[in-house]
Amino acid sequence: MLQLHVHRSELAYEAALSPPFAALIDTPGKVVSALLSEFDHLGVGVSDVSMDDGPLENKGLSCDVEKLDASILLRADRLEIRFFPIDETGDDAAEAIRGVWKAIASTSPEVTARSHSFLFEMDCELPTGSYRSALDLYCRPHENLPKGTETAVVYYLPKDGSQGFLDSSFVLNRSAEVDGGVLLAVTLVFEGQPVRPEGLVQAGRERLRDLLRDLDITVKDSQAGS
């Protein structure tokens, strides 16, 4: 069993939009008004929204929702929301996703998601042992490589249409944040479907939990103690 204590965590949600979210380019003021309408009860105001200039493919807007620890990025072809840290219940993520999709629907009801993805990223401490010994459980360096060689692990997970899974990945690597620690980065991609935020977040969390169980990995918040 591999035990990991989370030192830092981040969740990123992304949706590939189809057709392109033209209103974001043509009538950005309407999009801003729609977003503010969805998040004003959380204290979000005009000062929390910024328009991003640049080439057409990079035009869009950013919005910070401090009470949800969320940062929203809207582009014509995609929606991204980042959360710092990952909340234990998933309620904040569901609320943010719901609010942005309601804003999109109110300005461009024809826009849907071709796919949804979640990136669960955690920098973790090892309560016992070293990085090398931890990764040896999953991948050992070739015997002809120099002594002290370390590894990283990447599992590419195939799509499964019966469950709505698209190509995904599971990574164990060196942490840049925790000395001697492990970076756990799991990208889970789902087929596009009518957006039910609670169901999306739950599906992502359940699949992550299943993968951790299958790999015999336990993850706990370092603040919770041993």
Asked, for residue 13, whether it belongs to a domain, the answer is no
Mapping DSSP onto H, E and C, the string for 111-124 reads: CEEEEEEEEEEEEE
Write down the pTM of the prediction: 0.92
Same domain, 146 and 222: yes
Beta strand spans in 19-160 (E): 49-52, 60-65, 70-75, 78-83, 112-125, 153-157
Looking at 110, 144, 172, the residue that finishes a domain is 110
Tally of structural domains, the chain: 2
Same domain, 97 and 2: no
**% residues pLDDT > 90 (the chain):** 84
C-alpha to C-alpha distance for 122 and 212, rounded to whole angstroms: 13
Asked, for residue 49, whether it belongs to a domain, the answer is yes
Q: Note down the domain range covering 67.
A: 20-110
Region 79-106: what's the mean pLDDT? 91
7 class by beta-carbon count within 10 Å (0-12 exposed, 13-18 middle, 19+ buried): middle
- What pLDDT shows up at residue 198? 77
User: Do you find a cis peptide bond into 19, omega within 30 degrees of 0?
Assistant: yes
Residue in this structure with the two tokens 């990025």, named with its chain if needed: 73
Same domain, 106 and 122: no
